[in-house]
């Protein structure tokens, strides 16, 4: 970290905001209106939904990139939230975001499902951008403020920020998996990233296994041992300070999903979807970003084999696969799209009839209202991720179905998704085991409605009592020195 700390420069003057969130993107998206003018709208993601009310009550600010390269924006306020844009060049987006973040760290942290690339120039740009984010946060935070850094694009920010502003309280949350040490150790800059995270006072992960992997990496590569979740590190002033690492499973805005599931217009749309699909007896649904970690190819293979061996009949069952566009400038994602579209074409060419389509493949993003309608239309939700920090789609399906009084619907869920720790009444699968996945799909299709309803009600209780607002309160409370943390949201939940 010596090079990074040399670059960080002199501390800026403190800002005026008591709570500062630092993320790769701002909490707003630019939307072009019908008349050609553009405006800012609050991002629909759960993180923004959870933090916006807290930030409004605590003089909060959000630091992040505005979404357009080479665009210099002044800080502005939107919907009660102060926004501090960080400028990124085209070159920086290519090397910091598409390169080091998504072609080095992302595949490495997802168990090397795709091969990570290690390029020194990407690392240098990642370092430069992290310094810029740290300085923006330091200039925004009031004396003794709380700063909450989000995710793997900003690994170095906690330590850089601590060097600039030792007075602030720093939290970091890691939204994706943290790999076992034997995988993590491949990274040439492994020590620097660990040291970057240890600049925080509290480091949050999705799963206890992620905490264990991180602790193991610190022990092996830095020689420090976490005891009861705490590691004492040098405070830079001749003393020590504690760093805690804990699991805080993220969740969803349950209220919004439940309300939409009860909306007569959304319910009518769900019925229309079934009619448009030919009113099959069973609808299987997959909803994913187009990403190699999601197990979409494995899912299609299992479904195709069930059609081939006659266990499922295309006249009675349809698979709807929503694959929203993702990282379309990255070569491995372009190849994945081609592979999936070829696989869908082969299945449909083999099994389609004049009246029925085996797989309805939708390479689009949809508004939340349409997604909830799809959840209500689907009898079986397939979440077959090969590795996933959490997978909020699984929780959204439970919120939509359970919010109707637990009227059924079956969740088939990968044990390698963080959501499997909480949603234990799902049918848990190993997505690499195609035969096991086939058995689970058949069990889901044939499940007694009463059993399906009971399972869904149990999972809905878990999601309802552990929503995204509880997640943010627990993390910030723990960061402030309270006792909040992961309670019954762990592996025994919803049993």
- By residue count, the chain amounts to 495
The answer to whether residue 175 is catalytic is yes
Closest listed residue to residue 168, CA positions, set 25, 61, 76: 61
Phi, psi of 80 (to 5 degrees): 80, 5
Q: Measured between alpha carbons, how far is 360 from 348 in angstroms, rounded to an integer?
A: 9
Residue 109: Cβ within 10 Å count: 23
**166 CB-near residues (< 8 Å, 6+ apart):** 235, 236, 237
Please say whether the beta carbons of 61 and 23 come within 8 A: no
Q: Rounded to 5 degrees, what are φ and ψ at 456?
A: -65, -40
Alpha-carbon span 199 to 203, nearest angstrom: 9
Q: Tell me the pairing of strands 28-32 and 38-42.
A: antiparallel
Residue with the two structure tokens 């800002």: 15
- Give the span between the Cα atoms of 185 and 196, in whole angstroms: 16
> Which of left, alpha, beta for 78 (phi over 0: left; psi -120 to 50: alpha)?
beta
- DSSP string of 42-105, one letter each residue: E--SHHHHHHHHHHHHTTEEEEEE-SSTT-----EEETTEEEEEE---HHHIIIIIIIIIIIII
- Active site residue: 78, 119, 175, 363, which one? 175
Residue whose C-alpha is closest to residue 431's, from 336, 298, 288, 301: 298
Residues 6+ apart with CB under 8 A from 268: none
Alpha helices in 93-238 (DSSP H): 106-109, 120-140, 157-164, 181-184, 190-197, 208-222
* 279 φ, ψ (degrees, to nearest 5): 50, 55
SS3 content of the chain, % helix, strand, coil (to 5): 45, 20, 35
For the sheet with 410-414, list strands across it.
359-362, 317-324, 282-289, 380-383, 410-414, 427-429
Burial of 348 per CB tally in 10 Å (0-12, 13-18, 19+): middle
For the chain, counts of helices (H) and of strands (E) = 18, 17
388, 421, 467, 474: the catalytic one is 388
Query: How many other C-beta atoms are found inside a 10 Å radius of the C-beta of residue 227?
Result: 9
Q: Which sequence positions are flagged as catalytic?
A: 175, 388
């Amino acid at each position: 970290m010596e090079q990074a700390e040399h670059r960080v420069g002199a501390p800026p003057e403190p800002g005026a905001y008591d709570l500062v969130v630092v993320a790769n993107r701002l909490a707003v998206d630019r939307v072009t209106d019908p008349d050609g003018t553009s405006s800012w709208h609050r991002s629909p993601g759960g993180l923004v939904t959870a933090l916006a009310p807290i930030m409004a009550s605590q003089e909060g600010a959000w630091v992040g990139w505005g979404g357009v390269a080479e665009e210099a924006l002044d800080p502005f306020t939107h919907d009660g939230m102060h926004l501090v844009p960080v400028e990124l060049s085209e070159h920086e987006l290519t090397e910091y975001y598409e390169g080091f973040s998504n072609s080095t760290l992302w595949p490495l942290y997802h168990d090397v499902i795709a091969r990570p690339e290690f390029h020194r120039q990407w690392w240098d740009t990642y370092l430069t951008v992290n310094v810029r984010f740290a300085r923006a946060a330091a200039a925004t935070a009031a004396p003794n403020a709380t700063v909450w850094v989000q995710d793997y694009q900003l690994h170095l920010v906690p330590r850089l920020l601590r060097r600039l502003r030792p007075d602030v309280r720093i939290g970091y949350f890691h939204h994706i998996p943290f790999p076992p040490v034997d995988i993590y150790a491949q990274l040439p800059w492994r020590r620097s990233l660990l040291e970057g995270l240890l600049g925080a006072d509290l480091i949050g992960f999705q799963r206890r296994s992620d905490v264990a992997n991180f602790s193991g990496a610190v022990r092996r590569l830095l020689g420090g041992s976490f005891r009861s979740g705490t590691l004492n590190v040098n405070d830079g002033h001749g003393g020590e300070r504690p760093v805690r690492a804990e699991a805080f499973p993220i969740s969803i805005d349950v209220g919004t999903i439940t309300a939409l599931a009860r909306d007569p217009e959304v319910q009518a749309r769900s019925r229309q979807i079934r009619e448009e699909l030919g009113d099959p007896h069973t609808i299987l649904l997959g909803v994913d970003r187009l990403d190699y970690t999601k197990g979409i190819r494995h899912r299609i293979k299992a479904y195709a084999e069930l059609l081939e061996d006659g266990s499922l009949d295309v006249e009675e069952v349809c698979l709807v696969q929503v694959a929203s566009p993702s990282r379309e400038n990255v070569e491995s994602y372009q190849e994945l799209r081609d592979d999936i579209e070829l696989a869908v074409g082969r299945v449909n060419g083999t099994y389609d009839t004049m009246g029925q389509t085996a797989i309805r493949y939708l390479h689009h993003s949809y508004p939340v209202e349409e997604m909830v309608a799809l959840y209500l239309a689907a009898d079986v939700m397939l979440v077959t991720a090969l590795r996933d920090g959490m997978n909020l789609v699984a929780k959204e399906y439970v919120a939509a179905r359970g919010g109707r009084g637990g009227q059924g619907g079956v969740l088939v869920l990968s044990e390698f998704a963080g959501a499997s720790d909480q949603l234990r009444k799902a049918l848990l699968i190993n997505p690499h085991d195609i035969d096991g996945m086939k058995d689970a799909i058949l069990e889901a299709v044939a499940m007694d409605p009463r059993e399906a309803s009971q399972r869904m009600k149990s999972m809905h209780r878990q999601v309802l009592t552990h929503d995204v607002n509880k997640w943010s309160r627990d993390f910030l409370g723990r960061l402030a020195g309270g006792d909040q943390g992961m309670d019954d949201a762990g592996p025994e939940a919803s049993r």
